[in-house]
Amino acid sequence: MRAMQIPFDHPLLLRIVDDVAERGWSQQNIFLPESLTRELALECRKRAAEGELAPASVGRGALQEVREGIRGDHIQWLEPGQTEPCDRYLALMDSLRQAINRGLFLGLEDYESHFALYPPGAFYLKHVDRFRDDDKRMLSAVLYLNDGWLPEHGGHLRMYLDGGVEYDIQPTGGCLVVFLSGDIPHEVLPSTRDRLSLTGWFRRRGNQPFEL
């Protein structure tokens, strides 16, 4: 379904492009309609209840392993055609991909994404999203699905920015954070309740020089 596809020159998308060009990241506190955020949260919880979310691993290939001392989320990858809300979300992110390509010439070819559920107390230690031997991931995108989130619930995304600045983002439903995958270290802090998100990456072909 392409109902959520929006023009690449939509002001919201252009703000994200400008932010990434200027500082390498963007935070949009209201990116999704409340109704779609709620539908996606229900889908995440449904999959979790049915046992479809698996403990996330670290590393690649034969070196992949589950290490809860590093990350404690449970995930399931999205595929087109699974559910109508997920397809609407993927269409929106494809609009953003086109906007970024037109504005920044990054040659983004696709977008991969998974549901992520952090149970209470789970975290993800400081890391970057690009593998040392694979430069396909250019931009990370995290969309939060949490209703009624309060600061005391914790679960903030902490980004480590230039100049030793630590910037925390509360995982409020409908908020989208986009940042350069290889340039911004970040971590997920523990929360006191289930923390839901859709986490994804805009990817290029790989092994190509780029400038921003």
Q: In a 3-state reduction of DSSP, which class is residue 149? A: coil
Q: Which CATH fold would you assign to the domain 11-203?
A: Jelly Rolls (2.60.120)
Q: In a 3-state reduction of DSSP, which class is residue 127? A: strand
DSSP secondary structure string for all residues of 57-82: -BSSGGG-B--TTTB--EEEE--TTS
**Which pLDDT does position 5 carry in this prediction?**
72
CB-CB neighbours of 196 under 10 Å:
27
Which of the 8 DSSP states describes residue 155?
A: -
- pLDDT tens, position by position, 49-60: 999 999 876 655
DSSP secondary structure string for all residues of 190-201: -BSS-EEEEEEE
pLDDT greater than 70 at residue 194? yes
- pLDDT tens, position by position, 92-124: 999 999 999 999 999 999 999 999 999 999 999
Q: What is the mean pLDDT of residues 133-149?
A: 91
H or E element that contains 7: none
Domain boundaries, the chain: 11-203
- pLDDT tens, position by position, 143-161: 999 999 999 999 999 999 9
Q: What is the pTM of this model?
A: 0.89
